[in-house]
Structure 1
């Protein structure tokens, strides 16, 4: 439980800020697609070395980057849009990954890869997730302004700064790294949940990017802590409990938030009518 809590803290500091930028860039579903895309690489690493942290990590990173690069090349050289090419490659990648694991491993292995085992995190996995979180925070601190400009007006950034491609592709690399880190704790199907749900919920509580980062990270950590407690006392699967807790926070934020919620719009309408 202690290791799982530390892993949730590391994910909330590394993966959730990436989720904030994904939501600001309207790329939330891109994160979901990339989470599925890492599956065949992790599966190949599993076939070669079993449940080896290093092999599955390297395989997942390679598969995620390959899908991101291939979808970008197709989008830039054909009539296909980037979202369509990404969807095509991630579906192919997901099918290959499930096929590899299901034909070469057991149902337990498939469930481990797809849904993760946050309560089984060892010291090496925690070091990996914490290292990814540290690298992410340092990179975001260095490229914070270019990333903000990429969210607001990527065309303007390309015209005034040579950092535009660095910010764009560097951000994709950070996304893949954090999805791979989350994969070891929550599996490929749920690692994106701790990244997107708190970030989406924070949009109802703040408009400033700094506050979005703070609120979403705190919400992600609280979701991890509460989800682990619920899984312990109610004998629930820990990964789904964490993601459902984050989902509950999103629903509460949707109902009670102070910016752009149905309640705030209703109050504004009544004010104008009065």
Structure 2
């Protein structure tokens, strides 16, 4: 029992940086996991990944001007994310290029540009911090920003929840009965960018989308109901964050990749054993009709 306490609880009772990291990952789970569910339902998971890379040039410009300054990098990331989302939409509507191809082009350019800008001023350590994050080094200001953005996300989602759900199920019906679909979509994209910037501070630009998409995929194998999926996604993101921090503390695995690896393990378990479409469920379905 004492060994379990030392392994699973003691790191958080004895070290303030671990408590701060745990609070940060819980806030990321609360804000990001519901967004991930809607990204998955709207078939925008890869678009979310592209937008995660798109915030890098803005954050890199903030780094170039102010170093590892929280507000400069946050502001730069938000501007870059919104700019890429808008520009990719304009290009896809003004040309024959599909939106996913347009996003892919912008994301590749953004990634290359961001890495170049960081490399111009910073060291390899700075570049690794920007690309992969360091949640164990999170300060109070960063934690407050993440918590504020998570709270804002939940409040705004509560307001636009109904049109988002209807658009996922029947967008044609929504357009026929209401004009709220367009504004709700734009607000949703803004929430995606905000939560990607949140994830960027903790997990870096390469892993920011991981705590949004993997929990959503996990939830899809356990529930068909949107509310159920959101609850499962949030819970699995929290468990992944906690387990990843413990793994990182007890080993030499970096904290960001450790969190995503824990989420990946839960995802693989869900693929195999999930009650709503898991492989074993499909191979050995229960009897639907009883005599």
> With structure 1 as the length reference, what TM-score do the two structures score?
0.97
Report the equivalent of 1:105.
122
Once the 2 structures are TM-superposed, how far is the Cα of residue 26 of structure 1 from its aligned partner? 1.0
Question: Any stretches of 5+ residues in structure 2 without a counterpart?
Answer: 1-17
Pick from 36, 39, 42: which aligns with 2:53? Answer: 36
Report the CA distance shift for 1:271/1:149 in structure 2 as closer, same or farther (over 3 A): closer
Once the 2 structures are TM-superposed, how far is the Cα of residue 270 of structure 1 from its aligned partner? 9.1
Pick from 34, 38, 42: which aligns with 1:17? Answer: 34
Report the CA distance shift for 1:146/1:271 in structure 2 as closer, same or farther (over 3 A): closer
Give me the whole-angstrom Cα distance separating, in 1, the residues matched to 2:133 and 2:282.
40
Report the equivalent of 2:242.
225
1:241 and 2:276 correspond: no
Report the equivalent of 1:204.
221
Pick from 82, 91, 104: which aligns with 1:65? Answer: 82
Contact 1:28 1:196 in 2 (8 A): yes
Give me the whole-angstrom Cα distance separating, in 1, the residues matched to 2:186 and 2:21.
31
Alpha-carbon deviations, 1:124-154, whole Å to 9, x = none?
Answer: 1011000010000001111111010121122
Report the equivalent of 2:140.
123
Once the 2 structures are TM-superposed, how far is the Cα of residue 267 of structure 1 from its aligned partner? 1.3
Question: Any stretches of 5+ residues in structure 1 without a counterpart?
Answer: none
Question: Aligned residues, how many?
Answer: 272
Report the equivalent of 1:53.
70
Give me the whole-angstrom Cα distance separating, in 2, the residues matched to 1:159 and 1:64.
31
Alpha-carbon deviations, 1:44-79, whole Å to 9, x = none?
Answer: 000111111100000000000100000101111111
Report the equivalent of 1:84.
101
Once the 2 structures are TM-superposed, how far is the Cα of residue 235 of structure 1 from its aligned partner? 2.4
Report the equivalent of 2:195.
178
Give me the whole-angstrom Cα distance separating, in 2, the residues matched to 1:200 and 1:230.
22
Once the 2 structures are TM-superposed, how far is the Cα of residue 269 of structure 1 from its aligned partner? 9.0
